[in-house]
Amino acid sequence: MGMDSFEKVRTNNCYYVDKTGFIRELLSSFFETNLITRPRRFGKTMAMSMLAEFFDIRKDSRELFEGLEISKDKELCGKWMNQWPVLFVSLKDAEGNSFQDAYGMLQFIISSLCIEHAYLETSEAVDEADRKSFLRLKNREGDRTEIKSSLYILMRMMAAHYKKRVILLIDEYDVPLAKASDNGYYKEMLNVVRGFLGMTWKTNPSLKFAVVTGCLRIAKESIFTGANNFISNSVSRERYSGCFGFSEQEVRRLLEENGLPDHFEEIKKWYDGYLFGSREIYCPWDVMNHISMLQINPSAKPADYWKDTSHNDIIRRFIDLPELDVGGKCEALLAGGTIQETIVEDLTYDIANSSEENLWSILYLTGYLTRAAVGSAAESSDEDKIFLKIPNEEIRSLFAETVFKWFTDSVKKTDRQDLFHAWWNGDSKALTDQITDILFSTISYFDYKEDYYHAFTAGLFVGAGYEVSSNQEQGKGRADIIVKDRKNRRALIIEVKRSRAEQEMEKDCGAALEQIDRKQYAREILKGYRKIICYGAAFFEKECLVRGTEKKGSLD
């Protein structure tokens, strides 16, 4: 994990899932500019590193590719392996909290490219004006025009030096614009990136072909203007569908070779579900992380490995927009259902929040949603729309966690004085009405299971200055929720029940109160508290019923 260099993987005795067939597929249908968009952590950088090692004229890569699929094609390897000048640039670090910071990182990336290709500084074949620009770029002294034209200048110098056109590889091309959109300097960065990238494929005689990777296709008129013989390959297309991520066959083999075949079903449930073209794909980052954990601890449970690596606040930005009423659709997705939406593949980050259609598209293209399998019950009859679903348990847990944080943050901003007044005064009717109202305005995220209602009820007290504990040992068992107000020497004991039908809610409230008495939950907190109110709260879907009784406290 964390190693995205093909050369390092192949020389450090690492496990490599052979994706070198990508080279043949790339060359078999030649396009001058190839954009490939995939979610983060699906192996884009590793694939680009592999292409660089294969094509780069400065290297001898025969040993690295020995025994891999592409090495069997002797004719293709003879024509292409280490036969072409390659310019490989990653823009994943071209970001910052301000335009100045991000622009400075872009200058550093360009300077590093110049240092890597320092032989151009003394090449007799290059133009003198280009040499002077090269030195300024290398020393991070180039002006805005030279920064915008830097890739074009480098490619022209490389083509002159090698007397061959240049293969251009650009990884994570959209990161600068994604970060710029998040931090409020999108227009400034777009102006730079449009020139920086656009010049490389617009009537560029030094270009052999370009491969560009990212998460989204930024609208052609913004970045890819002038790209001749251009092809875009998103997750909805068949081309390259097996070149990124792991197939089920690859996952099974990986588990068998690591002595872990019994863990296939849990890995499938948590990390499968993505559909690239018509091919089912697993997230490689998750699979490798979980297998690594299983090697240490065979009983390790699946975890959210994607959570800490991806740009996950897109979900929060989505549900935060007051003009979008997406609660019902989010609930359907979290319950394992599907929604039917139009997908727009040409996007610009600055209008990501302008419409619900754009946001569903972004969630689909970046891996938070996937297409329901062709031939399933959810196959669309509307040619302009597709059915979407959450791909697996990992992403479902990310959605649930985001929705719960959204709920608690929203509750903190709400005036809850009437609600608290009802709790402390034993007003069951007011509690029933107010909690039901809150439920109706909240996105449910566990298909109305009891743990959802438990977390929901505890969340009503968040940030209010009370001491709240859940499932704490009390008396002869564990009380669901205990709320203590030490200052006023009063406490609440709340037992939560999920009813199977609306007509059972009254009975379930009674059962909850009886449980509090039978298991003596109040026994340990009676001392020192003047007022203790016990509540039974029954929930059915978005309905709530509350019943309460007051216990007499002790001053001892």
CATH number of the CATH domain containing 65: 3.40.50
**Structure token pair of residue 402:** 């985001």
Question: 139 lies in which domain range?
Answer: 6-233
Q: Is the dihedral of CA 427, 430, 436, 439 positive or negative?
A: negative
Shared-domain flag, residues 281 and 151? no
Rounded to the nearest 5°, which phi and psi values hold at 388? -115, 150
Q: What number of H helices and E strands is found in the chain?
A: 22, 17
State whether 260 and 171 are in the same domain.
no
Identify the domain boundary among 233, 263, 283. Answer: 233
The predicted-structure confidence for 92-114, as pLDDT tens digits, reads as follows 999 999 999 999 999 999 999 99
Q: Are residues 471 and 499 part of one domain?
A: yes
Cα(553)–Cα(556) distance, integer angstroms: 9
Backbone angles phi, psi at 386, to 5 degrees: -130, 155
DSSP state for residue 549 in the 8-state scheme: E
Q: Read off φ and ψ for residue 435, nearest 5 degrees.
A: -70, -35
- For residue 406, tell me if it sits in a domain: no
| Residues 435 and 530 placed together within one structural domain of the fold | yes
Looking at residue 526, which CATH number applies to its domain?
3.40.1350
Backbone angles phi, psi at 343, to 5 degrees: -105, 130
Task: Specify the pairing of strand 166-171 against strand 207-214.
Answer: parallel
In this model, does residue 530 exceed pLDDT 70? yes
Q: What percent of the chain has pLDDT over 70?
A: 92
Each residue of 368-415: pLDDT tens digit? 999 987 554 444 455 678 999 999 999 999 999 889 888 988 888 889
Distance CA 155, CA 120 (A): 11
pLDDT at 351 over 80: no
Q: Residue 175 in 3-state DSSP? A: helix
Structure-block tokens of residue 349: 């980050």
Flag whether 301 is in a domain: no
Give tens-digit pLDDT for 50-73. 999 999 999 999 999 999 999 999
Is the same domain home to 387 and 419? no
Q: Could you tell me if 493 and 531 lie in one domain?
A: yes
* 435 shares a domain with 523: yes
Tokens, residue 84: 């072409």
Residues 83 and 62: their CA atoms lie apart, in Å, by 12
Answer yes or no: are the C-beta atoms of 331 and 443 closer than 8 Å: yes
Determine, yes or no, domain membership for 304. no
Query: Does any domain span residue 540?
Result: yes
Residue 306: pLDDT band by 50, 70, 90 thresholds? Answer: confident
Angle at 310 between CA 305 and CA 314, to 5 degrees: 125
**Region label for 59, one of left (φ > 0), alpha (ψ between -120 and 50) or beta (otherwise):** beta
pLDDT at 470: 85
**Does residue 184 sit in the same domain as residue 333?**
no
Regarding whether 216 and 253 lie in a shared domain, the answer is no
What pLDDT sits at residue 556? 42
In which residue are the tokens 């005689």 written?
Answer: 205
* Percent of the chain clearing pLDDT 90 (strictly above): 67
In the chain, the number of structural domains is 4
Evaluate whether residue 302 is within a structural domain: no
Residues 381 and 527 in one domain: no
The amino acid occupying position 260 is L
Q: Work out the pLDDT band at 161, boundaries 50, 70, 90.
A: very high
Q: Distances from the Cα of 417 to the Cαs of 388, 414, 465, in angstroms?
A: 40, 9, 13
Number of residues that make up the chain? 556
Residues 6+ apart with CB under 8 A from 208: 84, 164, 165, 166, 167, 168
Average pLDDT of span 279-283: 95
Residues 282 and 354 in one domain: no
- Note whether residue 46 is domain-resident: yes
The per-residue pLDDT for range 423-478, each reduced to its tens digit, is 999 999 999 999 999 999 888 888 788 889 999 999 999 899 999 998 766 656 78
Written as six digits, the tokens of 186 are 């999108």
Q: How far apart are CA 533 and CA 551, in angstroms?
A: 6
* Pairwise CA distance, residues 545 & 314, whole Å: 35
The whole-number pLDDT of residue 29 equals 82
Is residue 241 a part of any domain in this protein? Answer: no
Read off the pLDDT of residues 214-258 as tens digits, 9 standing for 90 and up.
Answer: 988 877 557 887 777 788 899 999 999 999 999 999 999 999 999
pLDDT category of residue 147 using cuts at 50, 70 and 90: very high
The residue-averaged pLDDT of 19-35 equals 92
d(CA 36, CA 344) in angstroms, rounded, equals: 16
| Secondary structure letter of residue 81 according to DSSP | T
Any idea which residue has 């964390």 for tokens? 2
Q: pLDDT digits over 113-143, tens only?
A: 999 999 999 999 999 999 999 999 999 999 9
User: In this structure, are residues 290 and 305 in contact, taking their beta carbons and an 8 Å threshold?
Assistant: yes
Same domain, residue pair 317 and 385: yes
CA 52-53-56 angle, to 5 degrees, is: 70
Q: Is the pLDDT of residue 324 over 60?
A: yes
Give, in order, the Cα–Cα distances in Å from 232 to each of 236, 238, 342, 370, 497: 10, 11, 18, 18, 52
Parallel/antiparallel/unpaired status of strands 346-347 and 217-218 = parallel
Q: Which helix (H) or strand (E) holds 168?
A: strand 166-171
Q: Does 367 fall in a domain?
A: yes
What pLDDT, on the 0 to 100 scale, is given for residue 475?
57
Residue 303: exposed, middle, or buried by beta-carbon count in 10 A (0-12, 13-18, 19+)?
middle
- Work out the pLDDT band at 523, boundaries 50, 70, 90: confident
- Cα torsion angle, 48, 52, 54, 60, sign: negative
